[in-house]
Structure 1
């Protein structure tokens, strides 16, 4: 007796839900990712075999070519810091200047030149070779920038501002020592040294 053959049907898989999930994940990663900002000076950071991720809410002191540059996270903290430092040097900044400053990734100009720096065309400002924040004994502006950034962070988000030092591996020791001395004057003895990843020996 002949066996009855059941006609096979091709299986259809609905991929709509999977496509939706893929696009949702892609959108999430695009919106939450942080763009990498270029350093104002080329910095060849030293290598390390220890991997500890740098937190997002850290203020970074970038040191290179004997100059110091400062970067603060959070637009509100940046604007408040600029206002506080301006008051110390009797300089008043307009709301437009504060808004411009709050969008800068990092800066390295003396406070006396800040208004002129902010009034520049964005392309000229980007191309400008910034002289760095003064750290000498006569005009130790870096001390005031760090202190006022810490005060602003505590007042606005009720958090102690974390400090990270990003220095060139071939940078002169006196510049690094001077920056650490400025932090220690404010009783900041805990800070991060930013390094790049390398294989352990």
Structure 2
């Protein structure tokens, strides 16, 4: 008896719905994600059990590395430009439009004013390397850190100050930063730490 051959048919699966879901998920994550700011040095913050989060906007971040060098960051380029121009006028340094544009691109800064013009003329990759060896002066003779804070607060009075120091940073350095803030009547600030449960940076 002859065998009956069943004709094979191609199976068609409509992937339109799956593609739509994928695009929607991708769009959702792109819109809700918070990008981590580039920092010139790696800082390992001390642990804390507090779960209070600092705001994500209008933040003046103070970064202190293990060697005690101080850097700063502002989340709004307009505030950065205003503070730079104000401080430049105070120290007799004029910046070109190109230098100001380069400064607005930075997420973190920390160079003495006398070196700022030369620093801003460097390519972006070289700026990142040069920044690691600098830091904002905080000594009693020329405390540019206080002037930066005052200029930033003048540019945006709603700024909240957040201090992020490495767990190995000498306490004397952190105390000096806090004393500098107190000298200019800035007595409210957040200390950024890592939640001991490992859930990110908190107050």
TM-score grouping bracket, smaller chain normalisation: 0.7 to 0.9
Give 1:187's aligned residue: 185
Which residue of 63, 66, 69 corresponds with 1:67? Answer: 69
Measure the CA separation in 1 of the matches of 2:25 and 2:156.
32
How far 1:21 sits from its partner (Å)? 5.3
CA separation in 2, counterparts of 1:81 and 1:28?
A: 35
Which of 97, 105, 112 is equivalent to 1:103?
105
Q: Distance in 2 between matches of 1:34 and 1:95?
A: 30
Alpha carbon RMSD of aligned pairs, Å?
2.2
Q: Distance in 1 between matches of 2:36 and 2:90?
A: 32
Q: Which segment is superposed worse, 112-121 or 33-42?
A: 33-42
> Which residue is equivalent to 1:139?
142
Superposed displacement of residue 127, structure 1? 2.0
Structure 2 equivalent of residue 37 of structure 1: 37
Match of 1:152 in 2: 155
Deviations 1:108-128 (A, max 9, x none): 110110110000122211222
**Hey, what does 1:165 align to over in structure 2?**
163
Counterpart of 1:27? 27
Change (3 A) 1:96 1:28: farther
With over 3 angstroms needed to count, the CA separation of the structure-2 counterparts of 1:32 and 1:99, relative to structure 1, is farther
> What residue in structure 1 maps to residue 6 of structure 2?
none
Partner SS, residue 156 of structure 2? helix
Q: In structure 2, what is the equivalent of residue 126 of structure 1?
A: 128
TM-score by length of 2: 0.82
Q: Which structure 2 residues correspond to residues 73-112 of structure 1 after superposition, within 5 A? A: 73-112=75-114
The offset of 1:78, in angstroms, is 0.8
- Higher deviation after alignment, 88-97 or 78-87: 88-97
The match for 2:7 is: none
Could you tell me which runs of 5 or more consecutive residues in structure 2 were left unpaired when the two chains were aligned: 1-13, 199-203
> What secondary structure is seen at the aligned counterpart in 2 of 1:116?
helix
* Equivalent residues in 2 for 1:48-59, closer than 5 Å: 48-57=48-57, 58-59=59-60
Give the whole-Å Cα distance in 1 for the aligned partners of 2:180 and 2:83: 17
Once residues 176 and 89 of structure 1 are traced to their aligned partners in structure 2, the CA distance between those partners, rounded to angstroms, is 25
Q: How many residues align?
A: 184
